[in-house]
Amino acid sequence: MWYWVKLLGAGLVMLASAMPLRAQVGYDRSGNDYTTFTIRNGDPTVCATRCEHDARCRAWSFSFPRTTSEPAACRLKGRVPPRQENNCCVSGVRGAGVIEPHRAGIEFAIDRFGGDYRFFDTPTEPDGAACKTACDADKTCRAWTYVRPGYVAASARCYLKNKLTRPRAKPCCISGVVR
């Protein structure tokens, strides 16, 4: 950790503490948009990178796709609006890359493609908890993948798997291994 300090008279005054910047998964920043564009691959890092390369950009908000026909969107902002909790989005200020949360047993931005023996629509959640719970309760299930709404269907979808497959980085998904 490092600090910005300013010399005032004979003493030092701390102005701000600088922590590593991180995007906020599950938060939106409404307002102050100067441009909006779609992101066909649905990856929030594209939005963060675009902000980094645009001198006008101070903050950004990425919206996951709402339906399979409405792609993900990025909104670049000329000011930094306050963040608001909302599972639709990932947002950050300039300099904040997208870092998914880390929780034991949950693989954020990971797809475990293949091995599906059952799937069902599920409520939209920030961590795919209902999908994990369904896998925990089913003795056949070894792993699970929760797909956010708009990537394969209009609603969120849970895939239960009877074999372990290799994890692949994909922003659409949250996965986990149970057995």
- 26 and 89 co-located in one domain: yes
3 in a domain, yes or no? no
For residue 117, the number of C-alpha atoms closer than 13 Å in the C-beta half-sphere is: 12
Give the total number of structural domains in the chain: 2
CA-nearest of 33, 117, 132, 13 to 81 is 33
Question: Considering 63, 93, 123, which residue would you say is the last residue of a domain?
Answer: 93
Output the six-digit token pair for 60.
């950004």
* pLDDT over 60 (residue 3): no
101 in a domain, yes or no? no
Whole-number pLDDT of residue 50: 94
> What are the pLDDT digits (tens) for 99-111?
666 777 899 889 9
Question: Considering 93, 126, 157, which residue would you say is the last residue of a domain?
Answer: 93
Q: What is the CA radius of gyration of the chain?
A: 19
Whole-number pLDDT of residue 21: 58
77 in a domain, yes or no? yes
Question: Considering 93, 118, 143, which residue would you say is the last residue of a domain?
Answer: 93
Output the six-digit token pair for 50.
């675009």
- 32 and 87 co-located in one domain: yes
Interacting residues of 158 by C-beta distance below 8 A, sequence separation 6+: 119, 120, 121, 122, 128, 130, 131, 134, 144, 145, 146, 147
> What are the pLDDT digits (tens) for 28-70?
999 999 999 999 888 898 999 999 999 999 999 999 998 778 8
- 173 and 125 co-located in one domain: yes
pLDDT band at residue 22 under the 50/70/90 scheme: low
> What are the pLDDT digits (tens) for 119-174?
999 998 888 999 999 999 999 999 999 999 889 988 999 999 999 999 999 989 99
22-26, 45-49, 73-77, 81-85: range with lowest mean pLDDT: 22-26
Top pLDDT among 130 and 14 is at 130
- 31 and 89 co-located in one domain: yes
Whole-number pLDDT of residue 24: 83
125 in a domain, yes or no? yes
CATH number assigned to the domain comprising residue 63: 3.50.4.10
pTM of the model: 0.69
- 125 and 61 co-located in one domain: no
The secondary element (H helix, E strand) that includes residue 156 is: strand 156-161
- 121 and 88 co-located in one domain: no
* pLDDT over 60 (residue 17): no
Structural domain that includes position 148? 107-177
pLDDT band at residue 1 under the 50/70/90 scheme: very low
